[in-house]
Amino acid sequence: MRILQVVHDFLPNHVAGVEVYTDGLSRRLAVDHEVAILYSEVAPDLPNYSIRRGRHHGLPTYEIVNNHTLRYFDETYRNAAMTARMIEVLDDFRPDVVHIQHLINLSVDFVDELRRRDIPMLMTLHDHWLVCANGGQRFQQELGRCESLDARRCGACTAHMHGVGLLARGLLRRQREAAVGRHAVLHLVDEKPVRSAAPSADFIYRDSYEVAGMRRPTIVAHPPANLEFPLVLEGEACFECEVSLHPDTFEREGGGVEFAVLVDGELCEKRILDPKRKPADREPASLILQLDPGEHRIELRTRAVPEHEGMFCTAGWIDPRVSAAAGVARGRRRPPEKLVRGAVQLSGKLTGVMQRRRVEARWQAMRHVADRIDLFLAPSRYLRDEFIRWGIDSERIVYCDYGFELDAFRPRQALPERTRRFAFVGSLVPHKGVHILLEAFEKLPGDARLDICGSHDYAPDYSAGLRSRIRHPGIRFVGRIEPEGISKFLQGVDCLVVPSIWQENSPLTIHEAFMTGVPVVASRMGGHEGLLGSGGGLLYHADDADDLAAKLMRLYEEPGLARSLAVSAPPVKSMQDHAVELVDFYTALSRKRNERVSR
């Protein structure tokens, strides 16, 4: 069977739940079937709507460039140029069945073409995008959570997605993607310093050190050493890294190391680590500092403390990086981000009145799409119920949770009697509720630890705000963890926290914690209740930092609680079983099509 998977964007540039799931499912299906993946990507250096053919783990891929040069609201979901390219993919791959994972950034008119060709199709509902134009979360940072659908409220939320505001919004996205490669983060490990000073060239080299169970790229600079990097920032930015001595040096002779960060010759951050005498210094330490727009010189200096005890002081700058909402400038300067954001906001105020009608027209278009899709899959009973209320026939929407490669995860050896190491894994965006978690964690004792794992690229301003409010000594940001590294990371975690303030579907991270034997504390939102209602963790009232703090304190204080919660977690479906049930769906839809054709 030839199966085309359709998704809004994909790995490796976009690492979130839908992309990770589509990757795992496609690879499993490819064991017995021919599978291709169609998705969109921002690529400012390429012609808009051009197609790039490629391979992902041997699977053919069709990447359609969407640089978001849109002007009208309806183009955000119904795009004639995008539809034409998607039809070209149909002609080239000739699928027997199409599995739609998401259509954001693509075009819903593709569904009409599938119906015209009588190609069986099904769609997995990963979020609320059919009814929510602004990202599909039914959440807006200023307006908050949407408990019900209201055209006036939706119009206010999406007013910036038309006219000048939409053009400016697309420009912001292209700026972020083009700023540094395709990310607004510059990793200094990948850059050549303009100046490096050390007694020997052997003192400075590239390696990888471990942080929170993950190997991270590292610049090793045995003291005394000095590295200098020039930067041009178009907006406010943040420098951050972790610093550590190599574990092989902990029991050796010698002294400690002073790590110093200088900006334009001025000392801005300093940390002395002496793991040979202080066991607490054996954990990597975080260095974070804010940077103003403009041209800068960043210097990374190491020296032995005391200077005459420099033996076995292998010092590492772990993934030193600069993240900037407007990006690290390369080439010609772009319009200031504040000016572009102002255009977005002003456009929202001017178009708000008419936007209600556009929202209602979109709902009508989405009902048209829903009527033509053969079958919907809902990974949570919560989301199934939501879309039945919206109007999808209950017989055409099936509860079908995600599958996972169980062999990629192994149970944690032994949880401690009392929980000390907490973690968040996910996107650092407002609706994930990390600000609620930070507020709650301030109430925990100083020996509690919290690792915040996620990319700073998606919402740099929000991410910078999170870093600026850290007060608890045990909180650290460890960056994005690649999908293949999640299992190893969770081996060192006592509890996973999922503090979302939007109606989640069926988060992959909760399943991954179940497979690893790690308890979960999650907000009482959406699909969380279905996953944790019978065991596996604790639920708290979303938006309530005090309630979250109380649940974390229970795990901190109550002996054996984490273990009892972990063993009560429900079983997780294997990706092999999941692929079998999906093929059954594909086959049934194909059989119905053949029956129609034979009449």
Res 75 pLDDT > 80: yes
Res 478 pLDDT > 70: yes
Three-state DSSP state, 249: helix
Query: Across residues 416-425, what is the average pLDDT?
Result: 95
Query: Across residues 448-452, what is the average pLDDT?
Result: 95
pLDDT of res. 598? 73
**Could you tell me the end-to-end alpha-carbon distance of the chain, in angstroms, rounded to an integer?**
23
Query: Across residues 300-320, what is the average pLDDT?
Result: 92
**Which of 145-149, 351-355, 424-428 is modeled with the greatest confidence?**
424-428
How far are the Cα atoms of 242, 433, 483 from residue 133, in angstroms, in the given order? 39, 21, 28
- 580's CB contacts (< 8 A; 6+ apart) are none
Q: What are 451's two structure tokens?
A: 């690792």
- Which range is least confidently modeled, 182-196, 259-273, 337-351, 536-550? 337-351
Query: Across residues 6-23, what is the average pLDDT?
Result: 92
Res 459 pLDDT > 90: no
Q: Residue 170 — pLDDT band, cuts 50, 70, 90? A: low
Could you tell me what percent of the chain has a pLDDT over 90?
Answer: 65
Residue 251, Cβ neighbours under 10 Å: how many? Answer: 9
- Tell me the C-alpha distance between 400 and 397, whole Å: 9
For 4, the enclosing helix (H) or strand (E) is strand 2-6
| CA geometry: angle 466, 470, 474, nearest 5 deg | 125
Query: Across residues 576-595, what is the average pLDDT?
Result: 95
Q: What is the pLDDT of residues 533-566, one digit of tens each?
A: 889 999 999 999 999 999 999 999 999 999 999 9
pLDDT of res. 180? 39
Res 175 pLDDT > 70: no
Three-state DSSP state, 376: strand
Residue 328 region by backbone torsions, left for phi larger than 0, else alpha for psi between -120 and 50, else beta = beta
- Which range is least confidently modeled, 141-155, 201-215, 332-346, 372-386? 332-346
Res 165 pLDDT > 70: no
Amino acid at 485: G
- Which range is least confidently modeled, 106-120, 223-237, 540-554? 223-237
pLDDT of res. 330? 37
- What's the DSSP call for residue 110? H
Q: Residue 181 — pLDDT band, cuts 50, 70, 90? A: very low
pLDDT of res. 275? 94
- Which range is least confidently modeled, 96-100, 160-164, 181-185, 436-440? 181-185
- Tell me the C-alpha distance between 596 and 599, whole Å: 6
Report the mean per-residue pLDDT for the chain.
89
How far are the Cα atoms of 105, 145, 398 from residue 137, in angstroms, in the given order? 15, 9, 21
Q: What are 30's two structure tokens?
A: 């490819």
Using the CB atoms, write b or e for 97-121: b if 16+ within 10 Å: bbbbbbbbbbbbbbbeebeeeebbb
Q: What is the pLDDT of residues 499-511, one digit of tens each?
A: 999 999 999 999 9
pTM surpassing 0.85? no
Query: Across residues 292-304, what is the average pLDDT?
Result: 91
Structure-model confidence comparison of residues 186 and 350, the more confident one: 186
Q: Residue 333 — pLDDT band, cuts 50, 70, 90? A: very low
